[in-house]
Amino acid sequence: MAESKIYYTLDVDTGRPYQVHIGTFLLEAAGAIAREVCGGARAVVVTDSNVGPLYAQPVLKSLQDAGYAASQYTFEAGEASKRADTLIDILEFMSAHELTRSDIVVALGGGVVGDVAGFAAATYMRGCRFIQMPTSLLAMVDSSVGGKTAIDLAAGKNLAGAFWQPSVVIADVGCLATLSSEQFADGCGEVVKHAAIADADLFAELERTPLTLELLMRDLPRVAYLVARNIDIKRAVVVADERETGTRKLLNFGHSIGHAIESCAAYSLGHGTCVALGMGAICRAAAHRGICDADVPERIVALCRAHGLQGSNTFPVDELYAAALHDKKRAGDEIDVVLPHRIGACSIERIPLAEFRSLIEEGLSESEGDAQC
């Protein structure tokens, strides 16, 4: 991979504005960025058992060099740790290390780390500063930007949480080189989603040259550009609707069915894979009803496969529907769904739950059997 420095910055002009830094050699710059943006005297780096051994030490050293008393909290990697007991343990750790409201929490890892550490920052002393340092593709292009923090409950995913914007996001694309091909592909579920809802040109670019781990090894500047472009799509949506009362719901394309599959699979399938399955299902249902042309599901499913998103749904409609009833997008006897009209253009529709069940059934019905991505 190229040794020259790559660097992009994007401004996220929410109620509490912040910048996203995308590039290389940013782990070592974390302390200087934190000092300039956040100040404070102490820092707690929250990470997991996969990421910590790879990247915690350079980040801790950078923070210490910038004058922070830095400590590290590590929890077991995986969605199973995105629970209340992990949150409480982090809060107790922060208290034991005498963090104050003017100090910082650094979320170093993927989406689970960012969600739990961000929720801890949102609740500790009623809110302290935190920094998102995403190390997975999924976290870089999606969960690290926008201020959503959460834990899972027994009833479903992300049911307890808070909107709490980070003070800064630091995305070192060099970290992507340590992902497995499956982990990298999983992040592409959100990449395809962004293009499908907002950028037909990007969708066509990805059809010509898919974003893959092989592309990362061959053309890191190109991958960094694609990461920045995806973040820019999400940035624009978040700035327009920070609290998800309107247009931000477009980012949920494929998620209502995808989250249901994820829950029914006990989180054994990756989030991006489940989103891909959800997008395919809702697009097939939309095409069946004449809401979009038949080529829309065909192109989306083909692009997901080109990005290594290989999965299938094995759960019956009623089981998925029951899981989807716990979705945050439900409002009484109705639910918000994102329906495609063409590549790059979707709409948010509030429909009765019974109709949503019909959409699931139509979307997962295929002559060849189980719906696939």
Residue 305 covered by a domain: yes
Answer with the one of 132, 149, 178 that is the final residue of a domain: 178
Band the pLDDT of 373: cuts 50, 70, 90: confident
CA distances from 210 to 63, 124, 172 (A): 36, 41, 21
- How many domains does one find in the chain? 2
C-beta of residue 371 within 8 angstroms of C-beta of residue 364:
yes
Answer with the one of 144, 159, 178 that is the final residue of a domain: 178
Residue 206 sits in the same domain as residue 354: yes
Mean pLDDT for 267-273 is: 94
* CA 111 to the chain's CA centroid: 6
Q: Which helix (DSSP H) or strand (DSSP E) does residue 58 occupy? A: helix 52-65
What is the predicted pLDDT for the residue at 215?
Answer: 97
> Where is pLDDT greater, at 295 or 310?
295
Residue 59 covered by a domain: yes
Phi, psi of 29 (to 5 degrees): -95, 0
Per-position DSSP letters for 204-234, written without gaps between them? HHHHHS---HHHHHH-HHHHHHHHHHHHHHH
Band the pLDDT of 369: cuts 50, 70, 90: very low
Classify each residue of 222-253 as buried b or exposed e, where b means 16 or more C-beta atoms within 10 Å of its C-beta.
Answer: ebbebbbbbbbbbbebbbeebebeeebbbbbb
Mean pLDDT for 209-215 is: 97
Listed residue (226, 217, 171, 129) closest to 27, CA to CA: 171
Residue 353 sits in the same domain as residue 226: yes
Mean pLDDT for 210-228 is: 97
Band the pLDDT of 2: cuts 50, 70, 90: very low
What is the predicted pLDDT for the residue at 53?
Answer: 98
Residue 141 sits in the same domain as residue 225: no
Residue 153 sits in the same domain as residue 13: yes
- Give the pTM: 0.95
Q: What angle do CA 356, 357, 360 make, to 5 degrees?
A: 90
Residue 2 covered by a domain: no
* CA 329 to the chain's CA centroid: 17
Tell me what the pLDDT averaged over the chain comes to.
95
Q: What percent of the chain has pLDDT over 90?
A: 93
Domain housing 197: 184-364
Quote the tokens at residue 211. 């974003």
Is 368 a residue whose pLDDT tops 50? no
Answer with the one of 147, 178, 209 that is the final residue of a domain: 178
CA distances from 122 to 114, 161, 164, 166, 187 (A): 12, 9, 6, 10, 25
Mean pLDDT for 49-77 is: 98
Q: Read off the CATH number of the domain in which 348 is found.
A: 1.20.1090.10
Band the pLDDT of 328: cuts 50, 70, 90: confident
Q: Read off the CATH number of the domain in which 111 is found.
A: 3.40.50.1970
Residue 127 sits in the same domain as residue 23: yes
Residue 224 sits in the same domain as residue 167: no
Mean pLDDT for 248-276 is: 95
How do 69-75 and 42-48 pair as beta strands? parallel
What is the predicted pLDDT for the residue at 366?
Answer: 57
Is 58 a residue whose pLDDT tops 90? yes
Listed residue (175, 140, 141, 170) closest to 50, CA to CA: 175
Residue 16 sits in the same domain as residue 160: yes
Q: What percent of the chain has pLDDT over 70?
A: 98
Angstrom distance (rounded) from CA 162 to CA 104: 17
User: Which pLDDT tens digit goes with each residue over 104-156?
Assistant: 999 999 999 999 999 999 999 999 999 999 999 999 999 999 999 999 999 88
Residue 352 covered by a domain: yes
Residue 206 covered by a domain: yes
Phi, psi of 53 (to 5 degrees): -65, -25
User: Which pLDDT tens digit goes with each residue over 65-82?
Assistant: 999 999 999 999 999 999
